[in-house]
Amino acid sequence: MSESVVPEFQHRTVLLDEAVSALAITGARADGIYVDGTFGRGGHSRKILQSLGPRGRLIAFDKDPQAIATAAEIADPRFEIVHDSFATMAQALQERGIQQVDGVLLDLGISSPQVDDASRGFSFRADGPLDMRMDTTRGMSAAAWLAVADEQTIGKVVRDYGEERFAVQIAKAIVAGRTVQPITGTRQLAQIVANAVKTREKGKDPATRTFQAIRIFINQELEELEIVLDQAFRQMAQQGRLVVISFHSLEDRIVKQFMASKARLPQPDRRLPIRAVDLPQPELKLVARVKPSDTEVADNPRARSAIMRVGERLAAPVGVQP
């Protein structure tokens, strides 16, 4: 993080103790290999390192250059940070000669410093450049995308990723607005959306869903989540834990459906003579679904929408290696 330029914003890690506890880093597993797919400001990673044994190892990922700079402050030989999306997990582990891991933690969404730093463009509460990229060193900013995307595409993004019922009206307003002047600021976009949304949700700014949608699209958050869930499961050792914290329904739906599919008992062909001992077994055990306590939500309102799901890798099906 460029602290000399960007002020330090406080970040409170959601479900800190619960998430690390769910990884079950005890006994021989304390010397295992773990992955923190979203380093953020390092709350979970530091807690994991406290639980690891001397031969344990933690590989963390993050796209945000500020997070990478924060991670550089951790002087622990058991720790390594990778400046890339967690969707590159399989390749990164392969490059390090790692075939299996004992646990993967994914804390989805954006961190408080990202939201509160107006220069990142994630929030409309303070005016700033309309960027929204998790990794500011690559890719197209939200402003650049809004300058070239057609009305239909904008509407689809706002509807699908923001679950916004006024997506068509918002898309029309954005296209009309950019003909007057380029849409480059957060407050500017928020005002355009506010003028297009006729009915407002109680207690929610009319631009909330649109900002969420554009951020998710720009960073390909849902697509990368689907990729990393599959990669994490394939890399998981027997009894390894997959722990995922989601902050909105689109993320949680993907996680829930993925874990359910792996926990479902495969149905054999009833026409074939199969012994009970040879029946296929589920690959994942659903361990827990956890929400923040009332005390945590009162202390950190941003935790209120969090849902943590935990799954444990069971023995691989016959003939299949985990």
Residue extent(s) of CATH 1.10.150.170 domains in the chain = 135-218
Q: 129: which 2 tokens? A: 């450049």
Over residues 273-295, the pLDDT tens digits come to 665 555 667 899 999 999 999 99
Residue 198 has which token pair?
A: 């006729």
Q: Which residues in the chain are classed under CATH 3.40.50.150?
A: 16-112+221-313
**248 labelled ligand-binding:** no
Q: Are strands 101-107 and 33-36 parallel, antiparallel or unpaired?
A: parallel
Asked if the 16-112+221-313 domain carries CATH number 3.40.50.150, the reply is: yes
What six digits make up the tokens of 225? 């989540």
Which range has the worst mean pLDDT, 5-19, 57-71, 181-195, 303-317?
Answer: 5-19
pLDDT in tens, 60-118: 999 999 999 999 999 999 999 999 999 999 999 999 999 999 999 999 978 777 887 88
- Residue 62 annotated as binding site: yes
- pLDDT above 70: residue 199: yes
Whether residue 86 is annotated as binding a ligand: the answer is: yes
Q: Which is nearest to 244 in space by CA: 236, 252, 66?
A: 252
Angle at 242 between CA 239 and CA 246, to 5 degrees: 160
Q: How many helices (DSSP H) and strands (DSSP E) are in the chain?
A: 13, 7
**Superfamily covering domain 135-218:** Putative methyltransferase TM0872, insert domain (1.10.150.170)
What pLDDT does residue 111 have? 77
Q: Is 42 annotated as a binding residue?
A: yes
So what's the pLDDT on residue 301? 87
Does the annotation flag 114 for ligand binding?
yes
The pTM score is 0.89
Which of 61, 46, 67, 54 is CA-nearest to residue 104? 61
